[in-house]
Amino acid sequence: MNNERTLNLLGALALSLVDGLNAATEGASGFGGEAPAALVTLGVEPGLSIKALGQILRLSHPGTVRLVDRLEKQGWVERRHGTDGRTLALFLTEAGTERRRLILAERRQPLQRAIAPLTAADREQLTTLLETMLTALTTDEQEAFAICRLCEEEVCPGDRCPVEQQYCRMVHP
């Protein structure tokens, strides 16, 4: 088989999907970059510090501060006192939670469109293949959070997430 052709197809699909994801999440939030991912992630992990959020989003610290500034100004995120006098705990406001829901709903559409032509059997095959690939791609906790930063974790049971499983295997061998 022509392996390189498969690489091209995989890259093309990924690019096309992420184009769609970016358009959807930016349309739903009015912000580009990592802002939509920040809202999604804070919904799953409320109380994250600025530093921790930045590591998940792979932003510099100042970049994260500015991102949180933008989200706070929209009334979507609150800076509360954290465990420390230094540390902040970030929480979604009610409006932020609502906005997050909208982002996730819009995010589904390009994904749905991609798997629309697949039969039920195809989807099972695909799911298995995705699990295998994601398991291989996840090497530490940081990366696990990064990979899942736009996931609707509500519908993805943690004990069956290949990304989290892989991470847990690394940590508790």
Partner DNA sequence: TCATATGTATGCATTATGCATATATTGAAT
Partner DNA sequence: ATTCAATATATGCATAATGCATACATATGA
In sequence order, the β-bridge partners of residue 92 are 77
In the bound state with DNA, the residue whose beta carbon lies nearer, of 62 and 157, is 62
DSSP string, 48-81: B-HHHHHHHHT--HHHHHHHHHHHHHTTSEEEEE
**Nearest residue to 24 via CA among 116, 150, 155:** 150
- Say which residues have a Cβ less than 8 Å from residue 131's Cβ, sequence separation at least 6: 162
Residue type, 59: L
Residue 81 or 108: the one with the smaller Cβ distance to a second copy is 108
Q: Which two tokens stand for residue 97?
A: 């939670």
The interface region with DNA, picked from 5-13, 17-25, 82-90, 122-130 by CB under 7 A, is 82-90
Q: Which does 116 bind (CB under 5 to 8 A by kind): a second copy, DNA, none?
A: a second copy
CB of 4 or CB of 84, closer to a second copy: 4
List the single partner that 95 binds among a second copy, DNA, none, CB under 5 to 8 Å by kind. Answer: none
Q: Which does 124 bind (CB under 5 to 8 A by kind): DNA, a second copy, none?
A: a second copy
According to the binding rule CB under 7 A, does residue 34 interact with DNA?
Answer: yes
22 is a site residue for DNA (CB under 7 A): no
102 lies in the binding site for DNA (CB under 7 A): no
**Cα–Cα dist 64/21, whole Å:** 21
- In angstroms, what is the minimal distance from the CB of 6 to a second copy? 5
DSSP state of 33: T
d(CA 116, CA 80): 42
12 binds, among DNA, a second copy, none (CB under 5 to 8 A by kind): a second copy
> Could you list the residues that contact DNA (CB under 7 A)?
26, 31-35, 49-52, 58-70, 79, 82, 84-88
